């Protein structure tokens, strides 16, 4: 699994996340309207806080929606965490091309208006798993 390049803003978000939650984020990226923090599985409860208190506090400070996912080397589990609550039927990985099979409604939500979500997901998968092409069928 690759490591994405972090810009200055992402590093600031990760430092703030660590300060508020006491959990160290391994990565931080944008998807849809969310800033997603990737943390080790054993740190999930600490990162979220009691009744989501850490997430609510962080969200109010940076004025963006926050999502915390567990770090995973399994591409299917990773994608499901990122796109949740959208579901897909299956994933096929051939060489460096990934095909996501989804229902028509899920497909529309995965692509997004003007293919914004599709392009964001492509960039995330390129940096994490070196996926060159992404198709949603």
At 64-123, the pLDDT tens digits run 999 999 998 899 999 999 999 999 999 999 888 999 999 999 999 999 999 999 999 999
pTM of the model: 0.89
Half-sphere exposure of 13 (CA within 13 A, CB side): 26
Topology classification of domain 86-136: GMP Synthetase; Chain A, domain 3 (3.30.300)
Q: Hey, where are the domains in the chain?
A: 8-70, 86-136
Half-sphere exposure of 83 (CA within 13 A, CB side): 25
| Cβ neighbours of residue 3 closer than 8 Å, sequence gap 6 or more | 27, 127, 128
Structure confidence at residue 57 (pLDDT):
96
Question: Residue 2 pLDDT more than 50?
Answer: no
**Domain at 8-70: CATH architecture:** 2-Layer Sandwich (3.30)
Structure confidence at residue 92 (pLDDT):
93
């Amino acid at each position: 699994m690759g490591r994405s390049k972090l810009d200055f803003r992402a590093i600031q978000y990760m430092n703030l996340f660590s300060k508020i939650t006491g959990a160290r984020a391994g990565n931080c990226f944008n998807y849809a309207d969310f800033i997603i923090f990737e943390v080790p599985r054993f740190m999930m409860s600490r990162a979220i806080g009691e009744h989501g208190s850490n997430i609510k506090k962080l969200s109010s400070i940076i004025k963006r929606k926050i999502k915390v996912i567990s770090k995973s080397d399994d591409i299917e589990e990773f994608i499901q965490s990122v796109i949740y609550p959208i579901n897909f039927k299956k994933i096929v990985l051939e060489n460096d091309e990934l095909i996501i099979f989804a229902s028509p409604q899920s497909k529309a939500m995965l692509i997004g208006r003007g293919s914004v979500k599709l392009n964001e997901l492509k960039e995330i998968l390129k940096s994490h798993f070196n996926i060159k092409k992404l198709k949603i069928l």
